[in-house]
Structure 1
Amino acid sequence: MTSVLHASERTEFKRSSRRKIRLEGQIPAVVYGNDTENKSISVDGKDFIKTIRESGRNGIIDLEIGSDKRKVMLYDYQVDPLKSLEFVHLDFHVVDFKSEIDVDVTVQVTGDAAGVKDGGVLQQVLHQASVRVLPNDVPETIEVDVTNLQVNETITFGDLDTSGKYKFNHEDDEVIASILPPRQEEEIDSGEQQEPGEPELVEGREKNNNTEEA
Structure 2
Amino acid sequence: MAATLQAKKRENLKTSNTRAIRSAGEVPAIIYGYQVEPKTVAVDSIELLKTVRDEGKNAIISLQVDGDAVDVMLHDYQIDPLRDELVHADFYAVNMKEEMDVQVPIVLEGEAIGAKEGGVLQQPLYDLSIRAKPKDIPEQITIDVSDLAVGDSILVSDLKEGRNYDILEDEGTTIVSILVPDEEPAEDSAVDEPAEPEVIEGDKKEHGDSEQ
What interval of TM-score do these two structures reach, taking the shorter chain for normalisation? 0.7 to 0.9
TM-score normalised over the length of structure 1: 0.79
Q: Which residue of 2 aligns with 1:18?
A: 18
Q: Which residue of 1 aligns with 2:53?
A: 53
Residue type at the aligned position of 2:69:
K
Q: Which residue of 2 aligns with 1:79?
A: 79
Is 1:120 matched up with 2:119?
yes
Q: Which residue of 1 aligns with 2:69?
A: 69
Question: Can you list the C-alpha shifts for 1:45-71, whole angstroms capped at 9, x where unaligned?
Answer: 112122223432212212111122212
Q: Distance in 2 between matches of 1:168 and 1:48?
A: 29
Size of the aligned set, in residue pairs, is 188
Q: Which residue of 2 aligns with 1:143?
A: 142
- More deviation, 34-43/109-118: 109-118
Query: Structure 1 regions of 5+ residues with no counterpart?
Result: 190-214
Query: Structure 2 regions of 5+ residues with no counterpart?
Result: 189-212
Asked if the contact 1:130/1:168 (under 8 Å) is kept, the reply is yes
Identity of aligned residues (%): 43
Asked if the contact 2:55/2:139 (under 8 Å) is kept, the reply is no
| Larger gyration radius, structure 1 or structure 2 | 2
Larger proportion of helix:
2
Q: Which residue of 1 aligns with 2:157?
A: 158
Asked if the contact 1:3/1:61 (under 8 Å) is kept, the reply is yes
TM-score normalised over the length of structure 2: 0.79
| SS of residue in 1 equivalent to 2:63 | strand
- More deviation, 156-165/94-103: 156-165
Question: Can you list the C-alpha shifts for 1:58-86, whole angstroms capped at 9, x where unaligned?
Answer: 122121111222122212212222344x2
In structure 2, relative to structure 1, the CA distance for the partners of 1:184 and 1:133 (3 Å cut) is same
Q: Which residue of 1 aligns with 2:197?
A: none
